Amino acid sequence: MSYNKALLLKRLRTRRGVLKRTLKAIYNAERPDFQYSGRVRRELDAVEKEIGVLLRSLDGIVITEHAILRYLQRVKGLDLEAVVNEIVPETVEDAILELGDGSYPVDGGTPYRVRIRNGLAVTVTTGHT
């Protein structure tokens, strides 16, 4: 399976979980909005169908991001703590703590930006991504 298919499968499964929690919240509400629940149900059905199509198209096993990370750490000897400190250097962390969510420039040899949302570094981008 290609890495792109694995990422798509992960996104679809995450979306499915969000939709299921949304439906549960709608049904548990004091006054359920059944029109909204119908739209959510239709989207959930579409996501389920897309997951099924993707799973049927697999031509190998799925290697998760977690497995890749552990491989890099345990087999290749990647120091994850060093990576964490490189992604968000202390000087950038100070700015993040003061300013909050946003996209922060980092010059770590190859300039990049780290995107912060709700106190989490959610992605890293370069001029090429």
pLDDT digits (tens, 9 = 90+) for 11-48: 999 999 999 999 999 999 999 999 999 999 999 999 99
Q: Is the dihedral of CA 125, 103, 118, 11 positive or negative?
A: negative
Residue 28's pLDDT is what? 94
To the nearest 5 percent, what fractions of the chain are helix, strand and coil? 60, 15, 25
Pick the closest to residue 78 from 66, 67, 70 (CA basis): 70
Distance between CA atoms of 12 and 54, rounded to whole angstroms? 10
Q: Looking at the predicted structure, is the pLDDT value of residue 129 above 70?
A: no
CB 19 within 8 A of CB 40: yes
Q: Looking at the predicted structure, is the pLDDT value of residue 108 above 80?
A: no
Q: Is the pTM for the entire model greater than 0.75?
A: no
Give the total residue count for the chain.
129
Backbone phi, then psi, for 107, in 5-degree steps?
A: -110, 90
- 39, amino acid identity: R
Pick the closest to residue 105 from 84, 125, 85 (CA basis): 125
CB 42 within 8 A of CB 70: no
Residue 5's pLDDT is what? 84
| Average pLDDT over the chain, rounded to an integer | 91
